[in-house]
Structure 1
Amino acid sequence: MAAMTAPAAAPSAEPLLSTKGVTRWFGGLCAVDHVDFTLPAGEIRALIGPNGAGKSTFVGLLAGRILPTEGRVTFAGEDVTRLPAHARMARGMAYTFQITSIFANLALFDNVALAVQRRLAPGQSLATEVEAALARVGLDDRLDQPAGDLSYGHQRLLEIAMGLAQNPRLLILDEPTQGLSDGEIEGFKVLVREVAKDATVLLIEHNMDVVMSLADRITVLDMGAVLAEGTPAEIHADPAVQRAYLGG
């Protein structure tokens, strides 16, 4: 009698983040077109697509920086469609911008302290939490340096530290490796894998080596709609993705 194969573990009944029919018009332009999207807890998901595909608008809809024309956004079982960004952050979202959003005149310590203060529990040390967040991105030796004096790549790392300092359930990283050296990119990959042990990661990234080596699954947007979704191997082999984005 053939040995029985153990059944695969059942997926979580409820995704951490999902959208249903999310659409955004800007005048006569449909930037995001009826997107259905599901992100399970614990996954590293990459969102890719050609320039103008609607990635930044879609992520803005997820994070609450932009409100949809129609459709619904659900986070941790709650309809957050009309909640502003700060209310979504309070529920466990953290979003690092494509363009850095640090406070250039403040020291690195103070930048991260502003993020830590949003979730600091009684009895926790602000200094300890700040230094731990900066240590995760390799900037703990620059506590007193003004953020504006950092290189662009290090400013991106500071912004990631500010996101991590919030202990998010979902960390959204928008072009995080832009401006990083090859060595820093390798360190970033290690960091994301570590973060993913405790949080879900949504990565918007043009560096396909980073995408293919990190992502559990990839969602491809084109002209505001989902073109394809699958594992890195499936996306790499998809003829429609090759034509639209990968240059195949």
Structure 2
Amino acid sequence: MTPLLTTHGLSRDFGGLKAVDSVDFSLMPGEIRAIIGPNGAGKTTFVSLVCGRILPSAGRIVFDGRDITDMPAHKRVRLGIAYTFQITSVFARLSAYDNVALAFQRAQSGRSVHDGVMEALDRTGLADRAKETAGAMAYGHQRLLEVAMGLALKPRLLILDEPTQGLSDGEIAGFIALVREIGRDATVLLIEHNMHVVMELAQRITVMEAGRILAEGAPQEIRDNVAVQEAYLGGTVEAAS
């Protein structure tokens, strides 16, 4: 099977700092992949390069066989790459419905806007909050709204950056179920600090440290990896859960 996404020698420098340092990465269609690592490891910079928010200093990005290295972010959205931010980026003065409608319209779908919006809100458990102003919603619900906005784009690749931040335990359980459902139709790339979420969801895990890939493997392989434990997990995976 051909990878949906690959990066080759991908790098991004900020002054003298190598935030992402010659990363070779491959993601298969239909995979749920987690990226973990300590603060400053380069995780958010890496996915920002993939979605086009920033451009690389060196290297290439290939999506579905197409070189998208220099492609603007809005064109990557049309190819099927959707990204939810580490910090919520909802339009605070608009309703939940209108936030999702704006995203849906970017997808240039032939479906009814109303049907598409309500489907995305329903999948994230927010259908009964459609008329609520986004800025008045609890932070956790804003995070879910952003996921709904991503779903409205009908993505082939959905990138989630710290999506469970601010969610209650019950909401996290619902989120895990939601991502499993999303994974039936799309590929998911997830940055997450909650190790319970990572171990529950990820089929493979990529560990970053200092802008490079330290290790990759199935959850149990990462759990047992001594280098990962020393670099990130404080001795055991459980210590970070």
Band of TM-score, shorter chain: over 0.9
Q: Which residue of 2 aligns with 1:239?
A: 226
TM-score, length of structure 1 as denominator length: 0.94
| Structure exhibiting the larger radius of gyration computed from Cα positions | 1
Contact 2:21/2:211 (<8 A) preserved: yes
Q: Which residue of 2 aligns with 1:7?
A: none
Q: Secondary structure at the match of 2:116?
A: helix
Q: Which residue of 1 aligns with 2:57?
A: 69
Distance 2:109 2:121 in 1: 19
Q: Percent identity?
A: 65
Q: Which residue of 1 aligns with 2:68?
A: 80
Q: Secondary structure at the match of 1:206?
A: coil
What is the Cα deviation at residue 121 of structure 1?
A: 3.5
Contact 1:173/1:201 (<8 A) preserved: yes
Residues 151-203 of structure 1, C-alpha deviations (whole Å, 9 max, x = no match): 00000000000000111000000000000000000000000000000000000
**Quick check: 1:96 aligned with 2:76?**
no
The total of aligned residue pairs comes to 235
Q: Secondary structure at the match of 1:117?
A: helix
**Quick check: 1:39 aligned with 2:45?**
no
Q: Secondary structure at the match of 1:131?
A: helix
TM-score, length of structure 2 as denominator length: 0.96
Q: Which residue of 2 aligns with 1:168?
A: 155
Distance 2:185 2:109 in 1: 18
What is the Cα deviation at residue 51 of structure 1?
A: 0.7
Q: Which residue of 2 aligns with 1:157?
A: 144
What is the Cα deviation at residue 119 of structure 1?
A: 2.5
Residues 57-116 of structure 1, C-alpha deviations (whole Å, 9 max, x = no match): 111111101111100000111000011111111100000000000000001110000011
The Cα RMSD (Å) is 0.7
**Quick check: 1:222 aligned with 2:216?**
no
**Quick check: 1:202 aligned with 2:184?**
no
Distance 1:80 1:125 in 2: 30
Contact 1:73/1:81 (<8 A) preserved: yes
Q: Structure 1 stretch 111-120 or stretch 46-55: which is displaced more?
A: 111-120
Q: Which residue of 2 aligns with 1:125?
A: 112
Contact 2:161/2:192 (<8 A) preserved: yes
* Letter in structure 1 aligned against 2:82: A
Q: Secondary structure at the match of 2:38?
A: coil
Distance 2:51 2:118 in 1: 26
Q: Which residue of 1 aligns with 2:239?
A: none
Segments of 5+ residues of structure 2 without an aligned counterpart are 236-241
Q: Which residue of 1 aligns with 2:4?
A: 16
* Equivalent residue for 1:148, pick from 126, 131, 135: 135
* Letter in structure 2 aligned against 1:133: A
* Letter in structure 2 aligned against 1:166: L
Segments of 5+ residues of structure 1 without an aligned counterpart are 1-11
Q: Structure 1 stretch 73-82 or stretch 111-120: which is displaced more?
A: 111-120
Contact 1:17/1:73 (<8 A) preserved: yes
More helix by share: 2
